[in-house]
Chains A and B, each alone.
Chain A
Amino acid sequence: MSTATLHETTHYEAHGDAHHDHHHQETFITKYVFSQDHKTIAKQFLVTGIIWAIIGGLFSVIFRLQLADPNATYPWLEDLLGHWAKGGKIQPEFYYALVTMHGTILVFFVLTAGLSGTFANFLIPLQIGARDMASPMLNMLSYWFFFLASIVMMSSLFVQTGPASGGWTIYPPLSALGEASSGSKIGMDLWLVSMALFIVSSLLGGLNYITTILNMRTKGMSMTRMPLTIWALFFTAVLGVLSFPVLLSGAILLLFDRNLGTSFFLSDIVVAGKILPNEGGSAILFQHLFWFLGHPEVYIILLPAMGMSSEILSVNSRKPIFGYMAMVGSLFAITILAFLVWAHHMFVTGLNPFLGSVFVLLTLLIAVPSAIKVFNWLTTLWKGSIRFTPGMLFAIGFVSLFISGGLTGIFLGNSALDIHLHDTYFVIAHFHIVMGVASFFGMFAGVYHWYPKMFGRYLNNTLAYIHFWVTIIGAYLIFWPMHYEGLAGMPRRYYDFSNWESFKMFGGLNQFISIIALVVFAVQILFVINFFYSIWKGRKVTTQNPWEANTLEWTTPIRPEHGNWPGELPEVHRWPYDYAKDGKDFIPQDVPVGADESKH
């Protein structure tokens, strides 16, 4: 062995310990701001995500005001928003900006960065028994790129012509031509710059998550002994690393069309009576590039919620997860299929019907791994000694929402039905339930479950129960009626339905949905208050393993320092789901296998 290799190896081995020794010298800046500790970075992602969620949620409340009564005026809105609500009436341009930003913020900034960023950072090193990520530096950069992306996106809210308003899918020509609408001007440029930064952030994060999981597992932690959370976060990172670059390529071509006069996506366009010189482009091409990311993105949002719910359901049922390998296999199947179904978003683009039927088949195939997962979650709960902790309630809520939203996916995956239902409220209802609210439930489950590990304190339970019950009932009351509106053909993204005879009958229903939306939003504020209050004033955690769980994060001190374990890294001897085994309630992963122990 050459000296070079020797050096490399010792460096590599000593890496974690070196960190551990240094943490005492940290200043405020290196500990809380430019921290390289994965736990701090996770909290930074979480808090930034919460701020975005409040803004994105607030936007939906404002546009629901418009939908509740298109003729109403709210003078206080003018005080708040100036010319966007002239005379207290939400302006159409502003309405479109609101829906666009609501989608962008919730899909990317909250349910991608806020969810994966938080839990991949927090749980991967803790659950696989590593002192930190493979590259703490890249990890820190990942957060700060996200922060920069946030600043740019935030600033687009304050430019005179407003933020992007062509829908979160930024289809050209609306997004490619500055003259198309007020939101197509500087707001759209800022959107693209922000997303480019965001993509860099999520790539840096994803690279790190994959490398850490494959390379940094502690002794005995074979792949098949990993908690399902880690499997889910692993597949999420793979999806991100392979699909975000394709969106980036689409965004680059769009930037060229916007600023350098190329015609990748533009052809034969007339704006205000003037024929544009652009020729030979295809707007549909952008849709292909967008949805090649866009569909995997759905699973980037959903898989972490699946993984965390699996873990929490098992812990709080005091039972092993049912069908561990089937759970891993179905995650893998979903990951593969995620790349093969993008055109089901494009059934009405004049897609070749034969190609359409291929995408129908592939889309409906997703029902198989999804059904396996649902079956396994239910059988895990079956005859368990269930503890209804707030985290558990949200995990069960996740399963409920995933079933309800998943079933309507079978409708929409069929092109014959989709041609009728495309761009109606049926689609809104479907994806809000199955990926929006369901993933939020996964995220809440994760926050409630791992909060004691994050902050060494508990969240207030009473507030948590109120939060859960109002949110789940509210979510169904909001989105269930939208299916009926959609079946009746009510299109999404319309500013005012009162002009259409056929949709007038939904006036009362729209009002009802808006009132519930307001209530549900108010309850989320309750959660935010609970979250921040409990960081300083919550009940202190006094035991190392408050949920009596098997995974490694509960073998660290109550408030672990940088480096996670004060002494040696724990050694793993078993899978993480040894609950109710051989007369024992639970057996943590670092307990050696006894001589007379039965097999699981």
Chain B
Amino acid sequence: MSRADRLPGAERLKGLQGQPLAWHIALGIVAAAVLYLVTSSVSLYDNTIISEIAWYAIAIAGLSVLTGVSGQISLGHGAFMAVGAYGAGLMMEHFRLPLIVPILVGIAVATVLGAVVGLPATRLRGPYLAGVTLALALAAQDLPTKFSSLFNGDTGIIVNQATPPGGVNPERWLAWISLFGAIVTMIVLANFMKSRYGRALKAVRDDDIAAQASGLNPNRMRVLAFALAAGTAGLSGGLFALWSGIVNPNSFSLFLSIQLLAGMVIGGAGSLVGAWWGALALVYVPQWTNSVTSHFSSVSAITANVQGAIFGLLIIVVMMAAPTGIQGWLSGGYRRLRRGRSRTELEPVLPLDLDLSSTSTAPERTRP
């Protein structure tokens, strides 16, 4: 079929692609090796940026699975990040534990909240679910002020930097922690999408009554997807707490939730690679616009708003020019290139069933 088939060892590689877990772990190890080299060679400032990209990508990936695979919309994903950040932050403040424990606690609390929110979500569709999650995003901002003694109100809680083992810079150490979290998340999510749960979710998304007739429990699947996405956001929140050093209500405004949604759609809903495109856009577009506008204008009203304007414009342009997001556009182009077909025949529709191995030609295997 392709030239790769004739290369020695290609057979074994193809065999690996049939084993999703092994294949995803192999990809993860390669990514870890590459990222180790990257983090070691770039500046400490860039390492901070890498951490930021990592926690954005984690949250967006969870949201992407929720929307792309399960067909549910969450406009309040920042709220789950807040829960993870506060959970991890409070643990770090009150107990001296190895770093992994508070992070896991943050994930656990967010997962539980996700399951609780997911329960009414089983009955709600599209805009109704969007309404509930939107209200949740607003409420999450006010709760820390209400229970001020625990959450320290608007000031928030201070999170100490993770102490690195000797000889490693804190910034680099944080980048490693964040990237490790991101890679584990990607492996788990990629595997989840390939697993029978992922398939079941797609069935429920496409037609829940037919899925039910086939013996699936749509409600349970929806709650599962919501809890998974919330737990992912919880991890992202915990890493955010380490990254920013402070957790307060302002960090988790409605704008964060909207940013995550925008990042997901810009990257391509349902695609884990797309989550990284989205994270890159969320981090670099504001930086870039700031540096450009500081050259051209000194009126503060304008410079303060150019970033938002360009960000909004970017969302609109991507949605109109590449409706399946950057990843959808890229893989569409790749497929066009391979098959040499006309563009109109291959226009994919959202939600895309893309994942890490979407560009492989291996046939999907069902589990024995």
| Chain A partners chain B | no
Q: Which residues of A contact B (CB under 8 A)?
A: none
Q: Which residues of B contact A (CB under 8 A)?
A: none
